[in-house]
Amino acid sequence: MLPDHRAARQAGLRAALASEGLDGLLVTHLPNVRYLTGFTGSAALLLILPDAAVLVTDFRYATQAPREVGESARVEIDAASVWQRLLKQLQERPIDALGVEAQSLTIRDAERLSGAAKGRVVPTTDMVERLRAAKDPQEVQAIRCAAALAQDALAEVMPAIGVGRSEREIAADLESALRRRGSEWHPFPTIVASGPRSALPHARTSARVIEPGDWLLLDFGAQVDGYCADLSRTVVVGRPADERQRAVYELVATAQRRALEHLRPGMTGREGDALARTVIAERGFGDAFGHSLGHGLGLEVHEAPRVAATADAPIPLHAVVTVEPGIYLPGWGGVRLEDDVYLGPEGPECLSDNRTELVELV
């Protein structure tokens, strides 16, 4: 039987709350609810107290919630309003200082909570997210499996990519392959961008038809046991790459290799980002690499830690992050290569295959 980390996660959260002088935390961000209790439904409020955890949900999850949550929390079902049931809990057990997740609690809900709570309501930021940044072995394995699934799906659709096919057709093939192979859902809208549109880092997949010599940038992911993989590959379609395409591609690949070799836990996000950014900037393309090198992966596709030029916080041991340098030249196209990396005590370990040699689909 796999170890159950929920009690330890809640204990870590309670210690963090005590250090902030808080008597409890209302958890409203659903990925945090799942992390602490295992509940996967779409409606839940979780109250973490010094000696208890109470999960409030509605009638749709009367069977599912107790099965998923087990002994990690007491489950309360309310057929009318989860908020009414929560406020009743707070009235029965007054809390002097109740933390709330400022990033997810709406103004309306904050107002009704403040009006009913007998103690102080204190905004907090990222208290659970900081715990989630360091992954346990089960979480790392789930991301590894999601990456393998995504890679297999791409390998399945690559032979069908060619001149005359549209971005949407290729995205549909890829998303179908992901689902058939077991992806629970798509962690984000699949990006398939061709030709000059590959210079749009977060392009919306369009009806554009691939032409000979086009770049084709694919950014896609998979989800296993709730955990996300996030990969990007860039290929040339219809004819061999020209000299400029090869030069830009190799520069991005060199920058990624340097980051994969030298990224370590304990570095600041700024230092990690510089590993790849310096390589690109020294060749005169610094302005063409406008996004960060990477971000944390887990129950969300974008979570802590940040690996960015503006991130001064250290990258924790056992983090999983993306490493995704890119160069984007408007009117010409762009290249991004992205892999998922576990930062353990032995250094970086690629959870994806890092198959980043230039592929020419001719």
Average pLDDT of the segment spanning 322-342: 98
In the prediction, which pLDDT does 113 show?
87
Percentage of residues of the chain with pLDDT beyond 90:
90
pLDDT > 80? residue 108: yes
Q: How do residues 125-179 score in pLDDT, each as one tens digit?
A: 999 999 999 999 999 999 999 999 999 999 999 999 999 999 999 999 999 999 9
Q: Which of 86-90, 195-199, 252-256, 258-262 has the lowest mean pLDDT?
A: 86-90
Neighbours of 272 (CB within 10 A): 29
Q: Is the separation of the CB atoms in 261 and 278 below 8 Å? A: no
pLDDT > 70? residue 32: yes
Average pLDDT of the segment spanning 212-240: 98
In the prediction, which pLDDT does 111 show?
86
Percentage of residues of the chain with pLDDT beyond 70:
100
Q: How do residues 281-330 score in pLDDT, each as one tens digit?
A: 999 999 999 999 999 999 999 999 999 999 999 999 999 999 999 999 99
Ordered domains of the chain (ranges, CATH): 6-132 (3.40.350.10), 137-361 (3.90.230.10)
Cα angle 284, 290, 295; round to 5 = 125
Helix (H, G, I), strand (E, B) or coil at 46: strand
In angstroms, the CA 153 to CA 161 distance is 13
Q: How do residues 269-278 score in pLDDT, each as one tens digit?
A: 999 999 999 9
In angstroms, the CA 280 to CA 54 distance is 50
Average pLDDT of the segment spanning 102-114: 89
In angstroms, the CA 166 to CA 164 distance is 7
In the prediction, which pLDDT does 1 show?
65
Q: How do residues 82-96 score in pLDDT, each as one tens digit?
A: 998 898 888 888 789
In the prediction, which pLDDT does 119 show?
84
Which residue did the predictor score with more confidence, 333 or 79?
333
Return the closest-CA partner of residue 280 out of 249, 310, 306, 321.
249
- pTM for the complete prediction? 0.95
DSSP calls for 244-313: HHHHHHHHHHHHHHHHHHH--TTSBHHHHHHHHHHHHHHTT-GGG--S-SEEE-SSSSSEEEEESTT--S
